[in-house]
Amino acid sequence: MTQYNLLQAENAKPIKMWTKGVPVEPEAKEQLTKTAKLPFIFKHIAVMPDVHVGKGSTIGSVIPTMGAIIPAAVGVDIGCGMIAVQTSLMAADLPDNLLPLRTEIEKAVPHGLTPKHRGRDYGSWHDAPAIVEQYWQQLVPGFDKLTEKYPRFLKTNHYRHLGTLGTGNHFIEICLDEADRVWIMLHSGSRGVGNAIGSFFIEMAKKDMEVHIQNLPDKDLAYLEEGTEHFHDYVEAVHWAQEFARLNREAMMHNVILAMRKIITKPFTTHMSAVNCHHNYVQKEQHFGEDIFVTRKGAVSARKGELGIIPGSMGAKSYIVRGLGNEDSFCSCSHGAGRVMSRTAAKKQFTIEDQIKATAHVECRKDANVIDEIPMAYKDIDAVMTAQNELVEIVHQLRQVVCVKG
């Protein structure tokens, strides 16, 4: 017996939703239905249990397309995703006071954002370490090709953002698994340059469709058609931004490990047994015997045997999972718990005292600026995992002890 709910609207492809036991807002269903009405959707849309309304398109959706890509469905945080590493350390090896560890990590990785009128952005590098130059060199050929045609991207934060965290729900965490082994986990994407690429091609899609845009169910669903110049350029640019995001996470992980070694005197090794996975991206894949483009907007690839990361909210559990290769989901799973309320609503509803209580077991910021990330603003991660137990199996369950927020 299948676990998904089926949503079917007139003149639309079916929508298969792995959402049993988790809330889904009506606005998300409406947004999904609009996408399902596009003529180039392949077979059906797959929806993950962390689904909620997003800008451009629904977060927690897997959109398979033939002959076209929707840039706003990929969004502006291109290649956003997770990396996790298991260390040889045990919980007993961590210091009793975790504040110096958090402080050292915060010093090692630029994070947050300075408002433009206040001078240099403290969320970018002033003097980037050698590791950033090393990773940047891998990106130079693609960047040169991209900026030769689109010099506008030369004026973005690219090199200075490589190896930096960003803002919002991006984070760095020290976690313990079910056997009290220490893990490092972090969440970020392609930063300023990815945002610029996404924003530019979203506008290009709208411009290319000026004549037809009134026929779309939503102007954010403007698409680029395969065979056109902008489609080809977008595919190349998005691939480069996804590579930037992957290396950005690797560079941060390198610097977090160095920071930990300054505080923890016991020698330790790290096992790249885990994962570096995107959850906002598009790539060509084969499904149901056809070569198609798969856009995962807040979803993770979960091919049979493939490892992935599903983080809970700040102060909740996270999971390392192994994909079960469910073809109906286009071999995908959720990318987290998923919000149940907007950031604005969370700030109105909860107080600093609520935040302190909800994160009592975690060494983290507990000020007014992180209330929008309070655990209660997210769905129950256990319900989310149960809803997708035909998509992934749990390999490790992690609990946070240190959290650095962007």
Q: What residues are labeled active site?
A: 335
| 329 DSSP 8-state letter | G
**Which residues make Cβ contacts (< 8 Å) with residue 134, sequence separation at least 6?**
none
Indicate the length of the chain as a whole number. 406
- Cα–Cα distance measured from residue 163 to residue 255, given in angstroms and rounded to the nearest whole number: 8
- Beta-bridged to residue 6, according to DSSP, are 16
Asked if 85 and 175 count as a contact pair (C-beta separation under 8 A), the reply is no
Helices (H), 24-129: 26-36, 71-74, 99-108
Query: What does the block give as tokens for 274?
Result: 């885990």
For the beta carbon of residue 66, count every other beta carbon within 10 angstroms: 14
Give the whole-angstrom CA distance, residue 201 versus residue 240: 14
3-class DSSP assignment, residue 328: helix
Burial 31-45 (b: 16+ CB within 10 A, else e): bbbbbbbbebbbbbb
C-alpha distance from residue 267 to each of 57, 106, 108, 167, 277 (Å) = 46, 21, 19, 32, 28
Question: 45-52 and 15-17: which strand pairing?
Answer: parallel
**CB contact set of 103 (below 8 Å; sequence gap of 6+):** none
Residues 6+ apart with CB under 8 A from 242: 78, 79, 190, 278, 281, 283
Beta-bridged to residue 378, according to DSSP, are 339
User: What are the structure tokens assigned to 9, written together?
Assistant: 């609207």
Tokens 């919000």 appear where? 339
Contact between 117 and 272 (Cβ < 8 Å): no
List the one residue out of 233, 87, 96, 235 whose CA is nearest residue 173: 87
Q: What is the DSSP letter of 41?
A: B
Looking at residue 11, the DSSP 8-state letter turns out to be T
What are 400's strand-pairing partners?
A: 175
